[in-house]
Amino acid sequence: MSDFLRVGGIVQLIGGLLLGFIMGHMDGYPLFGGDGQFESDYRWSIGLFWWIAGAFGGIVFLTLSLLFEAIGRIEHNVYSLTNAYMRNNPSEAEPPKALGTSRSSLTKMANYKMGRTEESTDKK
């Protein structure tokens, strides 16, 4: 998962950089009424937008990649430490013994009635 996010982040960084250069030279998008032709002057606002969007998206993906990688290392370390502890302390690995054979009883609740009692209806 972290490798996939790392590759996605790098692709987004490179794609944002390239699309910033390409879209900054174009005369609008063909779908939105533009000609889609290259102009001689560069439109910095559109190029800057694509660069910032590509950098932001790429950094988010790379950060998530590093986060998942760190979580994987922590999981591996906890698993290794748990196995080492159980090998050194085999008595801890046995299931706990039963504490007793007590059972709960509802005999005290046999005459309990939910809702209104006769006493509450007589007081009104």
Residue 71 domain flag: yes
Band of the pLDDT at 73, cuts 50, 70, 90?
very high
Confidence (pTM):
0.59
How many domains does one find in the chain?
Answer: 1
Residue 11 domain flag: yes
Task: Tell which wins on pLDDT, 90 or 119.
Answer: 90
Residue 16 confidence (pLDDT): 93
Q: Identify whether the C-beta of residue 22 lies closer than 8 Å to the C-beta of residue 9.
A: no
Residue 110 domain flag: no
| Spatial separation of the C-alpha atoms in residues 41 and 111, rounded to whole Å | 91
> Counting Cβ atoms within 10 Å, is residue 19 exposed (0-12), middle (13-18) or buried (19+)?
middle
Tokens of 80: 């290794």
Q: What is the pLDDT of residues 10-66, one digit of tens each?
A: 999 999 999 998 888 776 665 555 666 666 678 888 889 999 999 999 999 999 999
Q: Identify whether the C-beta of residue 10 lies closer than 8 Å to the C-beta of residue 65.
A: no
Q: What is the pLDDT of residues 80-103, one digit of tens each?
A: 998 888 888 877 666 667 777 777
Residue 32 domain flag: yes
Domain carrying residue 14: 2-93
Residue 118 domain flag: no
Tokens of 22: 């390409």
